Amino acid sequence: MYADRFTHPRRLNPGGLGIALAINGTLLAGLLFANPDIVTRGPAKVLEAFNVQKDPPPPLPETPPPPRAEQPSRTTQPSIELLSRTAKTSDAPVLVFDTKASSGDTDDTGSVTVDPIRPIAAPVLTGVEPDPRFARDFQPAYPPAMRRAGQEGRVSVRVLVGVDGRVKDIALISSPGDDFFQATRRQAMAKWRFKPATRDGVPVEAWRVMNLRFVLDDG
């Protein structure tokens, strides 16, 4: 029974076909005769922008100038008088300011009275001088080598004399040989005595140039 159903070809149903055609025709007619509303869009509007001008602010009220201070008809100014007095402990002038009040119709100027200042005296200086009590000790012993060689010469040195009159240092200026200078140096550091230099009567250190001659004794 089932095998026979699949072997026979299917037949079209005339009634169903007619119903389908009728339905499709009805729908097509309805679409053709219908009057649909079609909405059309117009061109887009262009927005225009512009600046809005604001009214300027009202002007500020003018400020009246401040009242001028009244100038006094009469002025009072202190005048300074410079006095010169002599201190009890020194000759230097002592300046004393004396302030006095004065008034008048015209401007007052300070009057200054200054005594003439005496010029400062230059210090009194004295140089180094050999002490005559030690005159015999200034000549150094003759160097034996220079004596045997028969050589004579002149030595020039600078010596630094302290406040006690003794030689603190010695510097060579010229000498014909080192033996002469060494003999002079030993004698100066040990035996030489001076009167020291002074400044306003006070002993001070100072330099002095000394010249010596080494001469052979013919006797």
**pTM metric for this prediction:** 0.46
pLDDT in tens, the chain (219 residues): 444 555 555 555 666 667 777 777 777 666 665 555 554 455 555 566 666 666 777 777 777 777 776 665 554 444 434 443 434 444 444 444 344 444 445 455 656 666 778 888 889 999 999 999 999 999 999 999 999 999 999 999 999 999 999 999 999 999 999 999 999 999 999 999 999 999 999 999 999 999 999 999 865
Domain count, the chain: 2
Distance from C-alpha of 72 to C-alpha of 131, rounded to nearest angstrom: 81
Handedness of CA 127, 128, 131, 135 (dihedral sign): negative
The CATH number assigned to the domain holding 178 equals: 3.30.2420.10
CB 182 within 8 A of CB 146: no
Is the same domain home to 102 and 149? no
Establish if 49 belongs to a structural domain. Answer: no
CB atoms within 10 A of CB 177: 16
Same domain for 201 and 150: yes
Boundary of a domain, candidates 57, 86, 118: 118
Residues 155 and 186 in one domain: yes
Which residues contact residue 211 at a Cβ distance below 8 angstroms, ignoring those fewer than 6 apart? 154, 155, 156
Q: What's the first-to-final CA gap in the chain, in angstroms?
A: 191
Please give the residue range of the domain that contains residue 206: 126-214
Question: Do 166 and 104 share a structural domain?
Answer: no
Asked if residue 3 belongs to a domain, the reply is: no
Domain end among 58, 86, 118: 118
DSSP H helices in the chain: 2-7, 14-33, 144-149, 178-191
Last residue of a domain, one of 65, 85, 118: 118
Question: Could you tell me if residue 46 is inside a domain?
Answer: no
Same domain for 131 and 95: no
Is residue 5 assigned to a domain? no
Contact between 215 and 143 under an 8 Å Cβ cutoff? The reply is no
Cα dihedral value 174, 178, 184, 187, nearest 10: 160
* Residue 67, in any domain of the structure: no
Contact 193, 165 (CB under 8 A): yes
Hey, what are 37's tokens?
A: 């509303």
